[in-house]
Structure 1
Amino acid sequence: MPKYKLEYIWLDGYSPLANLRSKTQIKEFAAFPTLADLPQWNFDGSSTKQAEGSSADCLLKPVGVYPDSTRKNGVLVMCEVLLPDGSPHPSNTRATIPDDEGAWFGFEQEFFFYKDGAPLGFPPGGYPAPQGLYYTGVGFESIGALARDLVEQHMDICLDAGLNYEGTNAEVAKGQWEFQIFGKGSKKAADEIWVARYLLTRLTERYGIDIEWECKPIRGRFGTPLDWNGSGMHANFSTKHMREVGGKDYFEKLMGAFSKYMDEHIAVYGPDNHMRLTGLHETQSIDKFTYGVADRGSSIRIPHVFVNNGYRGYLEDRRPNSAADPYLVAGRILKTVQSVPTA
């Protein structure tokens, strides 16, 4: 039987943003393993801020399996972290999401390529031209020499893995890009965002480039008052009721619930979001909740098709930032939606 390289992937206990960790186990299988074939494994939680040295074992429970086209017989295994008794570890944010097969999420993950302490393409000791030509840009002046190659490789690896990768584009700042992941089921898109983040971070190792997930990396860090757009992770969401029934009355009650739980949402929408949600650069101020049709400066953007279809379909929460945990984002949105009666 062939031997497969199982790359077990999990989130560590660091805060405010967990790091991705992984290690390889070799197992024989007659064919590409299914999720049911994969055993639980363990790791030293004292080295990942998830346990004390006197009782260091944590368990890895496989929750997703994907082909890894970068390795012969490679397998990507997304895992939840469990305590030794089999209960969810306190760092296991995936376990906090209500299960709902009818909940669909689409995440727009923005990020910066970074090299030598600055966004990729920044001239040494200086700054590129202001924002304007970079968004969906083409050519060396707008994109640079390496970023598109990295994005194309990442896209191919994600598609080979079976991730529901829906698109990518250069973003508004030099060195900034975005990719989109969609999933049906309350946990699927968040699982795949984490796997896609892992693949991108691993891919850049060989190029000496880092991925900066921070939501506002270009500010006083460079000794200037530059105030460029930050990085978001806009969350598009719907439930079966939103898609099939909806209605203006239900929508207004839903927006009332989002307003009521504004602070609970902001608390899990990523660190330092006050630096990004300033009311400028297509954001609403962090201390306000608004919604509007096609309004990119609102907290929740309402697509025209949603209104034209009798207030049915999906909505876009524009507040989550690029460093947010998609498990926490999906869980909070779903809990708020579920708080609104559908009858």
Structure 2
Amino acid sequence: MAKLKLEYIWLDGYTPVAGLRGKTKIVDGDADKFTLEDCPMWGFDGSSTKQAEGKSSDCLLKPVALYPDSSRENGFIVMTEVLLPDGTPHPTNTRATIPDDEGTWFGFEQEYFFYQDGRPLGFPEGGFPAPQGPYYTGVGFKAVGDIARTIVEEHLDACIDAGINHEGINAEVAKGQWEFQIFGKGSKKAADEIWVARYLLLRIAEKYGVDIEFHCKPLLGAYDDPLDWNGSGMHCNFSTEFMRTTGGKDYFLKLMDAFSKYREEHIAVYGPDNHLRLTGLHETQSIDQFSWGIADRGASIRVPHSFVKGDAYKGYLEDRRPNSAGDPYAIAGRVLQTIQTVPTS
């Protein structure tokens, strides 16, 4: 038997963006045989996380996913749902509210900025770096610096060690901006892994004195203003078993009609301040419009060439509207709700 270090993580009650919280529980066990079922229920003081009042502050943590933590000897990360004392889901528990189906696949493209000393990493004090252009998928100190590359490589290894289905990384369009991609079969699995990947990124950045900025538009300004740098999205790629195996143009057009009909419902859960990002500029559609287009990065939903190949209309689609600070549980849940309004026969 060994002393196992279980880092329980959960989403707090802050709005409009929930924060990640974590604390460590020590248990006896065999690290090679330890499973999710071995993780006990736990609790925390909800009055300190905006999830309870001080006169009745107990909240419960229900383990829902387990990941090896390679940064600790005998360490694990335990993703949890927050429950009320009676065992029912807490109002902040978005994971418990969404449907799940292993046949529905999601891929999230998480963009973010590195920040240090109150500005994006690589921005000079009191000024601006060279205009956008050389940073996207950039190589070399002038393009990406050194700390960022160190952090993203360490983060990549940590995610892979944890068993997260990490699909890639790249420097993004703005100076100090990066992206990682996560794919999962099932809405809850994919969203769990985004949250754990976010947690790992935040924790790794701590030792370098760097913050992670998930706000969708941290740098503002007019289109020709040096402050108007690209915002950050979390594009949501999705497919159902029917979309992958059958599809068809008629079904696709009905699906796009449904996404257009529920545009406001989608925008409501796609992340705060999205009006600052979805302006119709910088490869975005305006927040008050809906459009789809083949390989169109300015559309609300981008249709890959592979989807329409041979007039098949079969495969996956990319919703480009979710932003970098969005809750992947709520995003995936809303996408599923809309898909389920369209009959497949």
Structures share a fold, TM > 0.5? yes
Query: 2:321 maps to what in 1?
Result: 319
Listed as ranges, the matches of 1:9-158 within 5 Å are 9-32=9-32, 33-158=34-159
Specify the code of the residue in structure 2 equivalent to 1:103. Answer: T
Alpha carbon RMSD of aligned pairs, Å? 1.1
Unaligned runs of 5+ in 2: none
Residue type at the aligned position of 2:323: N
> Which is worse superposed, 300-309 or 262-271?
300-309
How far the C-alpha of 1:207 sits from its partner, in A, is: 1.1
Q: What letter matches 1:8 in structure 2?
A: Y
- 2:198 & 2:31 partners in 1: Cα distance? 27
Alignment partner of 2:293: what SS?
A: strand
Q: What residue number does 2:5 align with?
A: 5
Indicate if the aligned counterparts of 1:13 and 1:48 stay in contact, CA closer than 8 A. yes
Counterpart position of 1:329: 331
User: Per-residue deviation at 1:226?
Assistant: 2.2
Deviation at residue 225 of structure 1 after TM alignment: 6.0
* Partner SS state of residue 72, structure 2: coil
- Name the SS for the 1:207 alignment partner: coil
Q: Distance in 1 between matches of 2:285 and 2:249?
A: 23
Q: Which whole-Å CA distance do the structure 2 matches of 1:159 and 1:31 have between them?
A: 18
Other-structure match for 1:301: 302
Larger mean Cα displacement after TM superposition, 96-105 or 315-324: 96-105
For 2:145 and 2:268, the matched residues in 1 are separated by: 36
1:60 maps to amino acid: L
1:314 counterpart letter in structure 2: Y
- Whole-Å Cα distance in 2 between the matches of residues 58 and 303 of structure 1? 44
* Cα-to-partner distance string for 1:267-296 (whole Å, 9 max, x where unaligned): 000000000000000000000000000000
Instruction: List alignment gaps of at least 5 residues for structure 1.
Output: none
Equivalents in 1 of 2:186, 2:142: separation in Å? 41
One-letter amino acid of the counterpart of residue 212, structure 2: I
1:54 to partner: Cα distance: 0.8
The alignment's TM-score, normalised by the length of structure 1, stands at: 0.98
Matched to 2:199, the amino acid is: Y
The residue matched to 1:187 in structure 2 has which SS? helix
The Cα offsets for residues 55-95 of structure 1, whole Å up to 9 and x where unpaired, read as 10000001110000000101000000011111110000111
Match of 1:164 in 2: 165
| CA distance in 2: counterparts of 1:185 and 1:275, whole angstroms | 30
Alignment deviations for residues 16-40 of structure 1 (CA, whole Å, 9 cap, x no partner): 1000000000001133421111111
Q: What letter is aligned with 2:319? A: D
**1:235-268 C-alpha deviation (Å, 9 max, x unpaired):** 0000111111110000000000000000000000
Separation (CA, whole Å) in 1 of partners of 2:140 and 2:26? 43
Q: Which residue of 2 aligns with 1:339?
A: 341
Q: Greater shift after overlay, 140-149 or 29-38? A: 29-38
Using the alignment, how far apart are the partners of 1:145 and 1:243 within structure 2?
Answer: 41
Q: For 2:258 and 2:25, how far apart are their aligned partners in 1? A: 45
Equivalent position amino acid for 2:308 in 1: V
Q: d(CA) in 2 for partners of 1:307 and 1:161?
A: 36
Residues 243, 312 of structure 1: 8 Å contact kept: yes
CA contact (8 A) 2:31 2:74 kept: no
Secondary structure (helix, strand or coil) at the match of 1:59 reads strand
Q: Is the 8 A contact 1:131 1:173 kept in 2?
A: yes
Identify the residue that residue 230 of structure 2 maps to in structure 1: 229
Would the aligned equivalents of 2:233 and 2:322 in 1 still touch at CA under 8 Å?
yes
Q: Distance in 1 between matches of 2:30 and 2:294?
A: 53
Given residue 135 of structure 2, which amino acid in structure 1 is its aligned partner?
A: Y
Q: Does the 8 Å contact 1:62/1:79 carry over to 2?
A: yes
Paired with 1:56 and 1:333, the residues of 2 have a C-alpha distance of 34
